[in-house]
């Protein structure tokens, strides 16, 4: 890859030294260079990706693995060998099906082995078992992707696109972020590896969260996803038991936690956390509670249905305002009261405010349904001070950082960026001054190009964008 980038840079330097060539020749040279960038990167990455995938498939040496390779590379370098292996193992011909739109969308991303492994790591971190982190998308990974898509109200295709990968990365990053002031757990790789070796199922993790909460250490929602609230609860439990506070469990600690849960007497009726658990609130109801709290002036720092520390603080503040004990947990009477207060606040607000609130919620619903950068940006543009603006900005900032890193790898210097700006200008877009500095005008031109060409609208250069430009030369 280094040699490729140097070669591209040399070609760019030669192009920049040409003295006033004719317009047609300049455009032709420009197209050739953009083509060289796109083709060189994709050809090399595709070959490396296929080779790495084949190595992983051979290590697995299963029919499912060989079939997964053929799904991605029906005419690949090792396709005949894969078919032979399947015939030898089953006595049947391999399944040959036309790729679905979802398969085609993932194939166009040309994910390399590292990127595939990152997706597997992110899925595993969120509690979806991929049956290995080897860069080979076999049945385990496909099932994990399908389960994750279902949980996020996405079409359960078992194949990912660019927006879904960005969403997955954000969710995994959120789950991995420790509570403020607890950086030890984040840096304790050996502890995290020890917990990983326990091979906990999603059900096991949900049980652990319930056991922690029952023993007085609030692990948040018992959803099987160990985020900052669960890690904080584990550290609190470890401190009480005299263990080193890592935020990760090992086998002896897990046994101790289970023993304590078994020996513990049932919580007394009316216990705050148990009362809330007995409500069995759905995710939609938890999101409703968070929205109502925000409407009443108590910031929950998100309306994702997860009752983390910020939501607990918001509940406690609301309870104190209404003369209840500030426990941070809701009971049935309080949940009903919260709903009534929210309804009254909406009914007594000026018509303009009610309309603004309704429009804000509708815009936010569209953003979280779309789960794209453009969707969250559209929400912020319409509601810069909306109830969900802080959460939307966090999503946008993280997503933009991911896209910027990808763009930097494709556009390594100002010369490359100038050529792209020149190409956009030649195609009728308005990227601003052709100077290699991607300004607001350049981003707008990129977004317009992506929109017209049915690409993910991000405003950043991607490999798919370069390939589309290549096809239009």
Given a cut of 90, whether residue 34 has pLDDT beyond it is: no
CB 306 within 8 A of CB 209: no
pLDDT for the residue 136 = 77
Q: Roughly how many angstroms between the first and final C-alpha of the chain, as a whole number?
A: 24
Long-range Cβ pairs for the range 407-413 (8 Å, 24+): 407/460, 407/461, 407/462, 410/37, 410/41, 410/461, 410/462, 410/463, 410/466, 411/461, 412/5, 412/8, 412/9, 413/9, 413/12
Over residues 283-304, the pLDDT tens digits come to 888 888 988 888 888 888 777 7
What average pLDDT does the chain have? 76
- Domain 183-264: give its CATH architecture: Orthogonal Bundle (1.10)
pLDDT value at 65 more than 70: yes
Q: Report which listed range, 112-116, 205-209, 431-435, is most confident.
A: 431-435
Predicted TM-score (pTM) of the model is 0.37
Looking at the chain, the whole-number percentage of residues with pLDDT higher than 90 is 4
| Helix residue ranges, H only, 61-93 | 63-72, 79-90
Residue range(s) in the chain whose domain bears CATH number 1.10.101: 183-264, 274-348, 411-471
- For residue 342, give the H/E element and its range: helix 332-348
Torsions phi, psi for 413 (to 5 deg): -150, 170
8 Å CB contact between 113 and 121: no
- Say yes or no to pLDDT of 343 above 70: yes
Is residue 377 within 8 Å of residue 396, measured between CB atoms?
yes
- Whether the Cβ atoms of residue 446 and residue 465 lie closer than 8 Å to each other: yes
Higher pLDDT: 234 or 325? It is 234
Helix (H/G/I), strand (E/B), else coil: 20: coil
pLDDT at 18: 35
- When the candidates are 1.10.101, 3.10.50, 1.10.10, 3.30.1760, the CATH number that belongs to 274-348 is 1.10.101
> Which contacts qualify for 202-209: CB closer than 8 Å, 24 or more apart?
202/127, 202/128, 202/129, 205/127, 208/249, 208/254, 208/257, 209/233
CA distance linking residue 123 with residue 208, whole number of Å? 19
The residue ranges of DSSP E strands in 369-422, in sequence order, are: none
Q: How many CB atoms lie within 10 A of CB 278?
A: 12
Domain 411-471 = CATH 1.10.260: no
- The pLDDT tens digits for 82-138 are 888 888 888 877 766 667 888 888 888 878 777 888 898 888 888 788 877 777 787
């Amino acid at each position: 890859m280094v040699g490729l980038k140097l070669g591209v840079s040399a070609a760019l330097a030669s192009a920049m030294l040409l003295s006033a060539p004719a317009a047609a020749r300049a455009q032709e040279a420009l197209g050739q260079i953009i083509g060289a960038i796109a083709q060189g990167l994709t050809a090399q990455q595709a070959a490396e990706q296929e080779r790495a995938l084949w190595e992983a498939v051979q290590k697995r040496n299963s029919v499912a693995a060989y079939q997964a390779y053929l799904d991605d590379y029906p005419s690949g370098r090792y396709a005949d060998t894969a078919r032979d292996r399947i015939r030898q193992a089953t006595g049947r011909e391999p399944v040959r099906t036309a790729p679905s739109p979802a398969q085609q969308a993932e194939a166009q991303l040309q994910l390399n082995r590292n990127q595939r492994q990152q997706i597997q790591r992110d899925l595993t971190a969120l509690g979806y078992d991929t049956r290995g982190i080897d860069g080979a998308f076999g049945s385990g990974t496909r099932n994990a992707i399908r389960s994750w898509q279902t949980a996020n109200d996405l079409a359960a295709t078992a194949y990912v696109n660019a927006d879904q990968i960005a969403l997955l990365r954000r969710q995994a990053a959120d789950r991995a972020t420790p509570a403020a002031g607890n950086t030890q757990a984040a840096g304790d790789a050996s502890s995290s590896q020890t917990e990983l070796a326990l091979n906990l199922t999603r059900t096991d993790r949900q049980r652990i969260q319930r056991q922690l909460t029952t023993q007085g250490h609030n692990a948040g929602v018992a959803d099987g996803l160990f985020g900052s609230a669960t890690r904080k609860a584990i550290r609190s439990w470890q401190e009480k038991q005299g263990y080193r506070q890592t935020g990760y469990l090992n086998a002896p600690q897990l046994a101790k936690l289970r023993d304590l849960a078994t020996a513990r007497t049932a919580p007394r009726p009316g216990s705050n956390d148990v009362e809330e658990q007995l409500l069995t609130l759905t995710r939609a109801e938890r999101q409703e509670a968070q929205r109502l709290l925000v409407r009443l002036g108590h910031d929950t720092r998100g309306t994702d249905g997860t009752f983390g520390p910020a939501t607990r603080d918001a509940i406690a503040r609301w309870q104190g305002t209404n003369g209840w004990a500030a426990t941070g947990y809701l009971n049935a009477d309080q949940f009903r009261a919260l709903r009534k207060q929210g309804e009254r606040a909406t009914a007594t607000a000026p018509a303009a405010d009610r309309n603004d609130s309704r429009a804000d919620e509708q815009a936010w619903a569209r953003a979280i349904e779309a789960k794209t950068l453009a969707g969250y940006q559209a929400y912020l543009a319409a509601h810069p001070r909306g109830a969900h603006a802080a959460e939307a900005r966090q999503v946008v900032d993280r997503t933009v950082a991911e896209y910027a890193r990808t763009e930097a790898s494709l556009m390594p210097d100002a010369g490359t960026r100038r050529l792209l700006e020149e190409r956009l200008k030649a195609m009728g877009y308005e990227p601003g001054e052709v100077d290699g500095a991607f300004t607001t005008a350049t981003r707008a031109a990129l977004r317009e190009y992506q929109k017209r060409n049915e690409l993910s609208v991000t405003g950043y250069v991607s490999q798919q964008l370069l390939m589309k430009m290549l096809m239009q030369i």
